[in-house]
Amino acid sequence: MSSLPPANGGGDGSQPRDAVDAALEPFRRRPENRELTTDQGIPIAQTDDSLKGGPRGPTLLEDFHLREKIMRFDHERIPERVVHARGSGAHGFFRVYESLEEYTSADFLCDPSARTPVFVRFSTVVGSRGSADTARDVRGFATKFYTQRGNFDLVGNNMPVFFIQDGMKFPDLVHAVKPEPHHEMPQAASAHDTFWDFVSLVPETMHMVLWVMSDRGLPRSYRMMEGFGVHTFRLVNAAGEAVLCKFHWKPLLGAHSLVWDEAQELAGRDPDFHRRDLWDSIERGDFPEYELGLQIVAEKDQLAYGFDLLDPTKLLPEELVPVRRVGKLTLDRNPDNFFAETEQVAFCVGNVVPGIDFTDDPLLQARLFSYLDTQITRLGGPNFAEFPINRPVAPVHNHQQDGFGHRAIHTARALYHPNSIEGNRPSLAAPHPAGFTHRPEILVGQKTRERSESFGDHFTQARLFLRSQSAPERRHLRDACRFELAKVERLAIRERVVGLLRQVDDEFAREVAVAIGVTVEPPDAEAPRTRAPDLAKGRALAAAPSLSLSNSPLDSIRTRKIAALVTAGVRSDELDLVTTALCGAGAHVEVIGEALGLVRSAEGQPVEIDHTFATAASVFYDAIYVPGGAASVERLVALAPALRFVREAFAHAKAIGATSEGVLLLRAAGLAVAVPEGSRLTDERGVVVAGEGQAQAFVNQWIEAIKKHRHFDREGDSPTR
């Protein structure tokens, strides 16, 4: 129902609608063909690159256009975060395995006996606080280390690259991917015109687009998700010697994903799926663990790997520089209060400690300004560092005073430096390595607003990523592009995206184009390819196995959730044996039935139902098991939710197991499995069934099937195939 008054006015004395429109007209901004300006009306000739001291130099503070554009963007939402609004946090600790003093003076990386407290916030990027956890999206992986020399914030994502090369473009990117401004749709989704319009006009996005469209955009859980610092940082040792460094988080459970249909159903059945998984895992003692990995490169080699290490749209393949695992992060405590901790935690990329320093990555340089500016708006002023969740464990002594939310009661009479009244206290720290000292660099170059030529190749690494995917992963990526682009209404946008995909891989582009109404001309052998050929010599990789989730560790079922489907008359001997074995391997079994309470097994034993078919679904579990028992299975065969449980688990390529009569439920659901005769055991693409006397052999075989996470060789098959 419209909130505007009727066209001819209303009996309540409201103005006519045309009068209201006339009053609003001076405030409307229409897309007219006029010059781009700042808020002060200053014409702007370039809005793609920040002002730097040379093409690869640091961003300059005098760039008023960058500061205004980022400042306005940072203040668009109050109090919800503009991006990364929906998050989930946990406390924990970090320990380094051995001293890294060869590379850095950062205390928490040099003392293996130190137990450094941390707070980690995981998040989606695009959606609002009320959106679903399982949307296809980038995930934030932000870690606050409370070190003895101050707080270090490693503010990263679950993908090692980003969409853009210069922070000047960040407001444009987010405006494009957020819900469209005229109707605020779609929520938490990139499948719409404005996002793909931006992508089609900004070729540097192509590498990151493929990452988001891949299975990486649908993590199974925060516990099974990699993290990356994205940018290239510096490590500086006590002697002032520096190396370049990229940060990685490697989950000890391996990195695994959801499938698209599963993610969509989870968004409806439990929008808090990832939040709940993280919380429940910590509550039951399955503490998420990640190893911190470093890729260390000599400063002289920043252009030696076929790309520019300052380019945030590029990754450093592990096949060229292996990731050295140097320590472990353990999350072992849930927050006491979501608002006070998870919502009020303030991460700032500029929070570094002695021994860690920045590079001139132009996206990183803009983030140094943006994050601090954002917190001032979100948290009501400059004193957000005094909130309990943000306070460092290191003592704080400075001359800051007053402002909203200031908690300190200053007794000093001189809050400035230098001073004689208080004996010049607090005194300055000794120079590096005790006090933070920026790494000295020689800067050569004119002030310029341009992109370095070394950032010019937008397709080589996108091609490497695509060609490194397994066949199922490539199929998922193709289908994701088809889905997203089929939602784009404007043909010209779809055509431009396909044109960019052709520069990545012509065959892949054609596979996408055929499903979205785009005609692809024969390949042009002379088609221009944006690249920086001088950087690519001698470092080309045909594929990088580290980029495929198929090569993630598949050697454990720790923390996996298995559903056992039962009703009265279930064989409790089979259920107990399988449950004991699975739990002994670190998994968790939940019993699903018709109603909560107890049912009697075939042996007369009580069996407790954990969840009902009304509240549980196969998408909540990693595998399902159907124990025998003639009466139990006969009833399950008559229950539509039980049949759906099996069919969905099969469609989502999960391990399915059944013993003795349990196989009859699989057959009733349409799975083409034979009824075991006698003591036969079969394993057909992750569907493991066993007859009488094979329970122990079944458990061993089925655990191996669950370890594989998914059985994509049956993906796309109907259950009866």
Residue with more model confidence, 432 or 611: 611
The whole-number pLDDT of residue 3 equals 39
Q: Does residue 387 contact residue 267 with C-beta atoms inside 8 Å?
A: no
Residue 414 domain flag: no
- Confidence band, pLDDT 50/70/90 cuts, at residue 1: very low
Percent of all residues in the chain with a pLDDT value above 70, rounded to a whole number: 92
Q: Does residue 208 contact residue 159 with C-beta atoms inside 8 Å?
A: yes
Percent of all residues in the chain with a pLDDT value above 90, rounded to a whole number: 70
- Confidence band, pLDDT 50/70/90 cuts, at residue 526: very low
- Partners of 216 in the beta sheet? none
Which residues touch 285 (CB under 8 Å, ≥6 apart)?
none
d(CA 64, CA 61): 8
Residue with more model confidence, 21 or 171: 171
293: amino acid identity, one letter = G
The whole-number pLDDT of residue 77 equals 66
**224 and 93 within one domain:** yes
**496 and 364 within one domain:** no
- Confidence band, pLDDT 50/70/90 cuts, at residue 9: very low
Residue 205 domain flag: no
Q: Which whole number is the average pLDDT over 654-668?
A: 95
**243 and 382 within one domain:** yes
Q: Which whole number is the average pLDDT over 35-55?
A: 83
Which of 525, 547, 569 is the last residue in one of the domains? 547
**695 and 639 within one domain:** yes
- Partners of 718 in the beta sheet? none
pLDDT in tens, 664-678: 999 999 998 877 766
User: Which ranges in 258-408 belong to alpha helices (H)?
Assistant: 260-269, 273-283, 362-378
pTM across the whole model:
0.90
How many Cα atoms are found within 13 Å in the side-chain-facing hemisphere of 691? 10
Q: Which whole number is the average pLDDT over 583-591?
A: 97
**299 and 242 within one domain:** yes
- Confidence band, pLDDT 50/70/90 cuts, at residue 386: confident
229: nearest Cα among 332, 364, 115: 364
Give the CATH number of the domain where residue 490 resides: 1.20.1370.20
pLDDT in tens, 449-489: 999 999 999 999 999 999 999 999 999 999 999 999 999 99
Q: Which two tokens stand for residue 438?
A: 């920026």
- Enumerate the active-site residues: 84, 157
DSSP classification of residue 341: I
Region label for 31, one of left (φ > 0), alpha (ψ between -120 and 50) or beta (otherwise): beta
**602 and 504 within one domain:** no
**577 and 481 within one domain:** no
Domain with 632, as residue range(s), is: 561-714
**581 and 520 within one domain:** no
Residue 21 domain flag: no
500: nearest Cα among 517, 488, 512, 486: 512
The whole-number pLDDT of residue 413 equals 86
Question: What b/e readout covers 134-160, taking b as 16+ CB neighbours within 10 angstroms?
Answer: bbbbbbbbbbbbbbebbbbbbbbbbbb
pLDDT higher than 70, residue 405: yes
- Partners of 144 in the beta sheet? 119, 153
- Confidence band, pLDDT 50/70/90 cuts, at residue 535: low
The whole-number pLDDT of residue 2 equals 36
Q: Which two tokens stand for residue 505?
A: 């891989």
Q: Which whole number is the average pLDDT over 280-287?
A: 97
Radius of gyration of the CA atoms of the chain, in A: 28
Q: Which two tokens stand for residue 175?
A: 């405006």
Residue with more model confidence, 533 or 336: 336
Q: Are strands 289-297 and 242-251 parallel, antiparallel or unpaired?
A: antiparallel
d(CA 483, CA 96): 43
pLDDT higher than 50, residue 11: no
Which residues touch 131 (CB under 8 Å, ≥6 apart)?
85, 86, 124, 187, 188, 271
pLDDT in tens, 702-711: 999 999 999 9
d(CA 187, CA 135): 9
Which of 386, 414, 431 is the last residue in one of the domains? 386
* β-sheet with 588-593: strand ranges across: 611-612, 588-593, 561-565, 623-626, 655-659, 687-690, 681-684
Q: According to the per-residue pLDDT averaged within each range, which of 40-49, 162-171, 438-447, 521-530 is highest? A: 162-171
Q: Which two tokens stand for residue 200?
A: 């089609």
Residue with more model confidence, 61 or 507: 507
**589 and 475 within one domain:** no
Q: Say if residue 219 is exposed, middle or buried (CB neighbours under 10 Å; 0-12, 13-18, 19+).
A: buried
Question: What b/e readout covers 514-528, taking b as 16+ CB neighbours within 10 angstroms?
Answer: eebebebeeeeeeee
Residue 214 domain flag: no
Q: Which two tokens stand for residue 29?
A: 């901004």
**3-class secondary structure, 23:** helix
Q: Does residue 218 contact residue 136 with C-beta atoms inside 8 Å?
A: yes
Residue 13 domain flag: no
Mean pLDDT of the chain: 90
**356 and 303 within one domain:** yes
Q: Are strands 561-565 and 606-609 parallel, antiparallel or unpaired?
A: unpaired
- Can you point out the beta strands (E) in 498-556? none
**Alpha-carbon distances, residue 515 vs 263, 392, 461, 503, 622 (angstroms):** 22, 53, 25, 19, 31
**366 and 339 within one domain:** yes
**Alpha-carbon distances, residue 350 vs 353, 510, 708 (angstroms):** 9, 44, 41
Residue 116 parent element (H or E): strand 116-124
DSSP, residue by residue, 633-647: HHHHHT-HHHHHHHH
Q: What share of the chain is helix, strand, coil (3-state, %, to 5)?
A: 30, 15, 50
Q: Which two tokens stand for residue 562?
A: 């298995």
d(CA 50, CA 587): 51
The whole-number pLDDT of residue 10 equals 42
Which of 355, 386, 417 is the last residue in one of the domains? 386
Number of domains in the chain: 3
103: amino acid identity, one letter = Y
Residue 199 parent element (H or E): helix 193-201
pLDDT higher than 70, residue 362: yes
**613 and 671 within one domain:** yes
Q: Which whole number is the average pLDDT over 66-90?
A: 84
d(CA 492, CA 514): 15
The whole-number pLDDT of residue 601 equals 96
Give the CATH number of the domain where residue 325 resides: 2.40.180.10
